[in-house]
Amino acid sequence: MERTEIRPLYDRLMANMETVIKGKSEVIGKVILCLLCGGHILLEDLPGTGKTTLIKALSKSLDCRFTRVQFTPDLLPSDLTGAHVYSQKTGEFTFRPGPVFTNLLLADEINRATPRTQSSLLECMEEGQVSIDGETMKLSQPFFVAATQNPIEIQGTFPLPEAQLDRFFMRLSVGYPEEEQEKEMLRAFRESSPLEQIHGVVTADELLQARRCIREIPVSDAVLTYLQHLVAATRRDEAIRLGVSPRGSLALLRASQAHAAVSGRESVWPDDVKAVFGDVLAHRIQLRGHNLNQSPQAHHEALSQILALTPVPTEKG
């Protein structure tokens, strides 16, 4: 795949998903960007705002295997990863794969499961593999986790620990639609679901090629220094208790490369870094003087101040 083919691929996915999700182009674009980077997405919002529908629209747009798991308090780690099952006929244990053996996994309402079950996804998300009874099994590629969660103040939820939040490439909110957008949605769903009408427009092989191509997009030393200064500022800021990890730095680099690619640029500009800075890093920091109920908006505001105070290089890359 050539670098110039990434934008048309992005546009195909966008157009296909917009036939189902009305008036949410910005959120859809960020989900696709995350997919192109090989990262995982966390959608956090109130029930009924279209989180699950958005991921279903993405799954229908990809010619890949899709599995949905409804997370509940009684869900066990083996219900996700699979387990060795004894066969009375053969007298042997055989491995029965769990739902993580797929290409796109929808972890619906992930924060309704216990921390033990949540943590069973860590190895899958970070390493693309599962270790069971001393045996390591690789997952299919591409492997993409799209998780939804209700706000943590809702009863019966278990907040995701920092280690797991850091595995998600972005945390996004769908939000309520505008009046005209909601009316358009009602018209679209009046007789049947538009999900039944869309089909795959991107194959797994095309997606993997696009990911490899994005990693090859050049980044100048000046832009790399700018990116590193932004990350370092989160570790020094007095308002921030927990700054961005090196994993976050790598995620910001990859997102900047992808943003440059879908914008039709041959290299990464500082504008690309600024465009993805908040979405990639907001969930990776913790503010001082706040409890677990601190709002994502407060995180974005803290990062916006850092963005405003950090000098931007004149060299574009």
pLDDT digits (tens, 9 = 90+) for 125-163: 999 999 888 889 999 999 999 999 887 656 667 888 888
Segment 280-299 shows an average pLDDT of: 81
pTM for the model = 0.91
What's residue 202's pLDDT? 96
Whether residue 15 is predicted with pLDDT greater than 80 in this model: the reply is yes
Q: Which residues contact 270 (CB under 8 A, 6 or more apart)?
A: 223, 226, 312, 313, 316, 317
Whether residue 45 is predicted with pLDDT greater than 80 in this model: the reply is yes
Segment 17-36 shows an average pLDDT of: 94
What's residue 293's pLDDT? 52
What's residue 176's pLDDT? 87
More confident of the two residues 157 and 85: 85
What's residue 315's pLDDT? 63
Segment 271-297 shows an average pLDDT of: 85
The pLDDT tens digits for 183-224 are: 888 888 887 788 888 999 999 999 999 999 999 999 999 999
